[in-house]
Amino acid sequence: MGCHPSKTDFQPDGHSDLFRPPAPIPVDIGSSIRHQLQKNSNSIVFIFGGPASQKGSIIEELTSSFNFTSISVEDIVFQYLPSRLAGTGTQISDIQDALRNDEGMLSIDWVLEMISSRIKVAMNQRFVVDIVPAVSSILKAEEYRARTHDRQLNQFEMKHPISFAIDVVVKDEQNLTKMNGDANGRDEDSKRINPELNQMMRGADDIDKGKLEKRIAEYHTCAEPFLQYFRKSNRVISMSVTTEAVPNLVNTTRDTLLKLGFTMARKDDHIICFTTEAAHEDIDLNYYKLKIVNAGDLSKSSDNLTSQISAVYRYIASHNRHDDNFLVVVPSFKVQETKSIKRINFMEKKKEVYLDEFIKNKQHDKPPKISEDHPPIEREARSVSAQPRHQLGIRPKNRVGASPNSLFPN
């Protein structure tokens, strides 16, 4: 017995562009990388990416899907530098002032030594190192502007061989930076350091768009000596990103690592929710990693139910990334009479459900926003989230709701 999805003819129209997948990202893999991975049990990756490179998304993919441990220079500097500087306060502003007043204070030797200490005490065997900082006061350090770091990196590799470097090359840096509202060059990974640092960096590194070119040049000055070291030994994975290709960056990263023999620590679990037009206004979409899909924008109002659902399926299939969940807004699906067909559907009936029951890949660095219309919900001591009840037709893929073949034809 088999299941055969219904077929519908899809005629290109004004909606065709919505179903076009993101542009591919060219990837160049250094010739020595596979040998380096086979030779060493640990995998240490250095990552490079300037303003608007979205390297934070790559770091998140490496840590969440491939079980890498993230090590960032910002974290090391603001956590450990005060202990070796007499008379320097522990506040972020004090450390930044000290770095600005003495550009020779920070050395690459010390930074790599602290990275080595992190690796030694960690139980993990995979590490991604963000070696070029996003904070301007660190970028201005004298040693970060040196022409070569070969000696320091060679000494580091005597203890911890580096597998390869990832270089995210942004082809249209200024356009991407303006599009992302990221004129100060800070990526999503800078938010994971700590709340105090994140708040201080917003004020300390808030620069106007007129200084964008200076920030881009500043990054390349600091990153190039590191990259030259890895290029000499053919250990660079280069990804060329354009505005159209940004949505494909995480998938490209995943495919590249799988080709190199890495195994994933988890499998995807996408959740698809259906709701009415006004029911999603009090849901924290960012926390639950929900992307809104307006079903009415994907098909004509005169289309039948099968065509409308097929349009939703095609859109999700072409825009689906590894960590996405979807909230499908269905204001007015046209339901038509159809011939009665015998079908067995397995469904779990509940009067009301919590999003947390189904969505596990939540944004754990902050609690969800709760609408003022709902009273606070008592949380357990170790719980990081609580969400008011929503009357949603929640349909986790292959778990709740109508059978996948009947609802989402291929």
Q: What is the mean pLDDT of the chain?
A: 73
What average pLDDT does range 138-149 have in this prediction?
Answer: 83
Residue 177 has pLDDT above 80, yes or no: no
Task: Provide the pLDDT confidence category of residue 189 given band limits of 50, 70 and 90.
Answer: very low
Range of lowest pLDDT (89-93, 143-147, 282-286, 359-363): 89-93
What's the CA angle centered on 263, arms 258 and 267, to 5 degrees? 95
pLDDT of residue 293: 86
Distance between CA 209 and CA 212 in Å, rounded? 5
Where exactly are the structural domains of the chain?
27-259, 268-337+346-410
Best-predicted range by mean pLDDT (49-58, 112-121, 201-210, 282-291): 112-121
pLDDT of residue 179: 55
Superfamily per CATH, domain 27-259: P-loop containing nucleotide triphosphate hydrolases (3.40.50.300)
Strands 126-130 and 69-72: parallel
Task: Provide the pLDDT confidence category of residue 140 given band limits of 50, 70 and 90.
Answer: confident
**Cβ-proximal residues to 328 (8 Å cutoff; 6+ apart), any chain:** 272, 273, 274, 275, 293, 295, 312
Range of lowest pLDDT (271-280, 301-310, 373-382): 373-382
Residue 291 has pLDDT above 80, yes or no: yes
- The percent of residues in the chain predicted with pLDDT above 90, rounded, is 25
What are residue 274's phi and psi, to 5 degrees? Answer: -115, 140
Nearest to 146 by CA among 209, 94, 204, 223: 223
**Cβ-proximal residues to 162 (8 Å cutoff; 6+ apart), any chain:** 36, 44, 45, 46, 153, 156, 230, 235
Residue 38 has pLDDT above 70, yes or no: yes
What average pLDDT does range 361-370 have in this prediction?
Answer: 60
Strands 271-275 and 290-294: unpaired
Higher pLDDT, 379 or 316: 316
Residue 261 has pLDDT above 80, yes or no: yes
What average pLDDT does range 290-314 have in this prediction?
Answer: 81
Task: Provide the pLDDT confidence category of residue 123 given band limits of 50, 70 and 90.
Answer: confident
Do 195 and 203 contact (CB within 8 A), yes or no? no
pLDDT of residue 183: 38
pLDDT of residue 112: 95
pLDDT tens digits along 50-100: 887 889 889 999 998 899 999 998 888 888 776 666 555 556 666 666 666
Task: Provide the pLDDT confidence category of residue 274 given band limits of 50, 70 and 90.
Answer: confident
Residue 351 has pLDDT above 90, yes or no: no
Task: Provide the pLDDT confidence category of residue 390 given band limits of 50, 70 and 90.
Answer: very low
pLDDT of residue 164: 98
Nearest to 236 by CA among 251, 250, 223, 254: 223
Q: Which residue has the tokens 């969505």?
A: 359
Higher pLDDT, 162 or 145: 162
Q: Distance of CA 377 to CAs 108, 154, 184, 386, Å?
A: 48, 54, 37, 6
pTM: 0.59
Task: Provide the pLDDT confidence category of residue 151 given band limits of 50, 70 and 90.
Answer: very high
Best-predicted range by mean pLDDT (4-13, 183-192, 230-239): 230-239
Residue 248 has pLDDT above 70, yes or no: yes
- The percent of residues in the chain predicted with pLDDT above 70, rounded, is 58
Task: Provide the pLDDT confidence category of residue 389 given band limits of 50, 70 and 90.
Answer: very low
